[in-house]
Amino acid sequence: MAEKGRHLAGRDAVRSGPLFTPPQMPRHEYLRAARQNGSACGLAIAACILVAWVAALRMSLFSAQVADGPLALWLLSSTATAWLYTAVFITAHEAMHGLVCPDWPRVNHAIGWLCARSFAHLDYRVLIHAHWAHHRSPAQPGLDPDFHDGVHRGFARWFASFMLGYLSADQLVSMAFSCWLLAAVLSPTRVLVGWVLPLCASSMQLFFFGTYLPHREPDLAGVPYADHHRARSKYTWCSAVHVATCLNFGLHHEHHALPFVPWWRLHTVRFD
C-alpha cells in the first residue's frame, strides 16, 4: 500500500510541477537543438497524419463500401485507423518536446492540444507535465508517472495502472458523449469496430512499444538497461519495422538520450 501511495503521489505531483523541463541540459540549449530540425517538415508530417486519420476514421465509420463489404475489409480499415490513432498521439508527443513546430511554440502546442484531444479527449497540459517527469526519472517507481508502482510489474496490471493514471472524470464524460452521439446515427457494431476497438488497440500499442518493452526491469526483459536513462532499443528491427510498429518508439534509448530529435529522424542516430 505504501508503494502504491508513493506511485499515486508521483502522478499528482506532475500536475503542478515545472512545465517543459528538459533533463540534463539547460532549456535554451534544448530549444536551440530542437530548432535545428526546422518547422516545415514537422508541420507537413503532422498535417499528413491528421488528414489521413480523419480520412481513415470517416471510412471506418461512414463508408458504405466498408459497412457492406467483407470482414477482411472491416479489419483492414480498423487496423489502418488504429495505426493512425497511434500516429496522432505520437504527434502530440512530439509537440510536448517542441518538435512539431519549434520556431513557433504557440502553433506547436496548439497542434499538440488538438492531437491529444483528438486521440481520446486527453488533457494536453497534464500530458506535458507527466511526460517530462518521465524523462527526468525514467523507470523509477513514485517518480516516473508512466512506470508501475513497484509491485505490479506484469503487463496487464501495469497497463491498467498506466491507463487509470491518465483518466479523468471530464474525459470519461466526453468519451461517453462522443460514443452516444455516434451510436445515435450509426449501428453499435460500426461504432465498436470503427472507433472503439482502434482506439483501444492504439492505446495498447503505445504502451507496449513505448513503455513496457523499453522500460521493463532487466530481470523481466533479459537485457540490462543501457545507462541511467533506464531505456532500451530494439536493434534487431529494421527501420521499416520500427515505423510500422510504433513510429520509431522502439528506438527508445535514443529518444531518451536525444529528446530533441524528432521521431522521423531517430533512425539516423541509432546507437547500434
Spatial separation of the C-alpha atoms in residues 109 and 168, rounded to whole Å = 21
Q: Please give the tally of structural domains in the chain.
A: 1
CA distance to 113, 122, 158, 206, per residue, from 127 (Å):
10, 8, 18, 14
Q: Please choose, from the candidates 79, 123, 116, the residue with its C-alpha nearest in 3D space to the C-alpha of residue 94.
A: 116
pLDDT at position 86? 98
Please check whether residue 270 lies inside any domain of the structure.
Answer: no
pLDDT at position 131? 94
Please check whether residue 243 lies inside any domain of the structure.
Answer: yes
DSSP helix/strand/coil, 128: helix
pLDDT at position 3? 43
pTM of the model: 0.91
Question: How do residues 47-69 score in pLDDT, each as one tens digit?
Answer: 999 999 999 999 999 998 888 88
Spatial separation of the C-alpha atoms in residues 58 and 156, rounded to whole Å = 31
pLDDT at position 19? 57
Please check whether residue 29 lies inside any domain of the structure.
Answer: yes
* Domain span holding position 237: 2-264
Question: How do residues 111-123 score in pLDDT, each as one tens digit?
Answer: 999 999 999 999 9
- Given a cut of 60, whether residue 12 has pLDDT beyond it is no
Spatial separation of the C-alpha atoms in residues 261 and 265, rounded to whole Å = 6
- Given a cut of 70, whether residue 10 has pLDDT beyond it is no
pLDDT at position 5? 42
Determine the Cα angle at 39 with ends 33 and 40, to 5°.
140
Please check whether residue 112 lies inside any domain of the structure.
Answer: yes
Q: What are phi and psi of 177, to 5 degrees?
A: -65, -40
Q: What is the mean pLDDT of residues 187-204?
A: 94
- Given a cut of 70, whether residue 7 has pLDDT beyond it is no
Spatial separation of the C-alpha atoms in residues 11 and 61, rounded to whole Å = 35
Half-sphere exposure of 242 (CA within 13 A, CB side): 22
Mind giving me the DSSP string for 138-153?
TT-TTT-TTS--SS--
- How many percent of the chain have pLDDT more than 90? 79
Mean pLDDT, the chain, rounded, equals 90
pLDDT at position 21? 65
Question: How do residues 18-38 score in pLDDT, each as one tens digit?
Answer: 456 677 788 889 989 999 999
Region label for 229, one of left (φ > 0), alpha (ψ between -120 and 50) or beta (otherwise)? alpha
Residue 187 per-residue DSSP state: -
Please check whether residue 129 lies inside any domain of the structure.
Answer: yes
- Given a cut of 70, whether residue 16 has pLDDT beyond it is no
Q: Which residues pair with 100 in a beta bridge?
A: none
Burial of 57-94, coded b for 16+ CB within 10 Å and e otherwise, reads bebbbebeebbeeeeeebeebbebbbbbbbbbbbbbbb
Question: How do residues 127-153 score in pLDDT, each as one tens digit?
Answer: 999 999 999 999 999 999 999 999 899
Q: How far does CA 269 lie from the centroid of its chain?
A: 21
pLDDT at position 9? 39
Please check whether residue 271 lies inside any domain of the structure.
Answer: no
Q: CB neighbours of 83 closer than 8 A, spacing ≥ 6?
A: 202, 244
Please tell me which of 15-24, 182-191, 207-216 the model is most confident about, judged by mean pLDDT: 207-216
